[in-house]
Structure 1
Amino acid sequence: MSSVVDTLIEMGFSKERAELAVNRTGGNDVQIAMDWLLSHEEELATPVLAPASIEAPQNVNETGSTDDKVTSEVPEAAPLAKSIQCDDCGKLFKTNEEVEFHASKSGHEHFSESTEEKKPLTEEEKKEQLAKIEAKLRQRRLEREAREKEEALLKEKIRIKSGKELLEAKKKHDELEMKKIVEQRKREKEEERLARQRVKEQIEQDKLARKAKFSGGSNIEVTSPPLAKPAIPKASAANYSEVKLQIRLPNGTALTQTFGAKEPLSAVRLYVEMHRKDADGPFNLMTTFPRK
């Protein structure tokens, strides 16, 4: 009901008339309440100023009786004001509410009492006023729909922008997570490589330690025939990276193996210790040519 009253007040009706129309019509429809107000306008109209009656004073004598002769003239009664006129535009109004509404809408400030009575609206005028009100209602509805459409469009833009920002943030987060995973895998691979390298170095150190251990035995010479070595070909300008040695053992058997050109003599000694079949014990390596 309050929404119907507010709409009628916005259309120019006073609060009292709007509430009365809502109570009389049930308060469900603005159009019905507005039609009721227009059809009962004459009944609701009240004079702005109440008529003021001026009585002629009576002369009272000393005995308290009234004198038949009037000692003073009775002033003429002032003309009765039947409406209020806007001095700026000349429109007539019946009630103060209409005056206030007109002043608020037009900005006019000069009003005066008028003896001219505002004529009731004819059927054509009522229809015209009703058409104006309906047009105003349609205009307000269109403005409200346009405003709601604009607000919905703005909300949709905000939603799309928020969705894009959310997707962008998620994309950046995924990229950072992927980058972290790639860096973690690189670190793991590097750690594995370093671990394998340490193992290889440890194995190499163990080999060198075993070689040093086996090469550090007694200096007792092994009585064995001199080791026969193949004839060394004439040196040439070529740079060889490998050398093939034949080692003859005391029992007459021979061991043949290819070694790197830069491998130490201890590697040959270790090979002999691991592959000799004649006997165990310390021995010395020697060659018949060239002697040093």
Structure 2
Amino acid sequence: MDAEHLQQVRRFNRAVTGRIGVLSDDYLGSGRALGEARLIFEIGRGGADIRDLRVRLSLDSGYLSRLLRSLEKQGLATSQRAAGDARVRQVRLTAKGRKEWAALDRRSQDVAVSLLTPLGERQRERLLAAMGEVERLLRASSVVIEPADPGSADARLCIEGYFSELQERFEAGFDPTRSISADPAELVPPAGLLLLARLDGQPVGCAALKISGRRFGEIKRMWVAPSARGLGIAQRLLDALEKHAADAGLSVLRLDTNRTLGEARALYARNGYVEIAPYNANPYADHWYEKRGLRPRK
């Protein structure tokens, strides 16, 4: 990693934290540090599951518990077991907590105004565009891609999302029993692999590899949830699949796709996949691609 790149990130972090006033124990004039103030805001008027708060705020259980105990001691929040699932605890703001939430919301709005008001119109537009880009890229950097059990609940959620989208987009619908198989048993080593992409702990994409013989692999189940598109997840999934394939000794990857999936075809084309003659009898395939010469990556 380039040293100047790292220094730029650190300068940016210092500039932002100083400008928005998170360095004191009086964030937004609330008399409390950012951690407590942010937790109040995230609980919100409707309450929240503690498990979701932990994931959303990237907090470990112990620290989150201490923050919640502090809010409860101050009479700002209460927590209890969920009615339908005793394993889930929910937290809600009290009347006093909701009043505090409203005050934080107003003060946060005032800070936003103070950031934008001194700037001219073009500067405001540039700042807002830059903020949007930074937010997207920070979300992208939060995505984790790793091998997963193809029979897990998260894997089933993604694959069902994939099937559902194909059903909507294909002109004649989609029946997975008529397509080339990629069953869970075919997607575990050494027969294959399933990768899941997770954002804030939630599954948002998948990609699979089926291994055929000593040299050939086939890409299956490439999908990204609509809510997570535009973050470069499909490219990262493809890169990870290629690395796993090369590390497994494969030198050729193949795939088939439908003509309606233009974005998928563009992804493969810009990554060196070339169109070839049909190599299977998939009734949903209109295009077949291949990439040769895979090499293990360091």
Return the TM-score normalized by structure 1.
0.16
Larger Rg: 1
Q: Name the TM-score, length of structure 2 as normaliser.
A: 0.16
Query: Comparing both structures, which one devotes a greater share of its residues to strand?
Result: 2
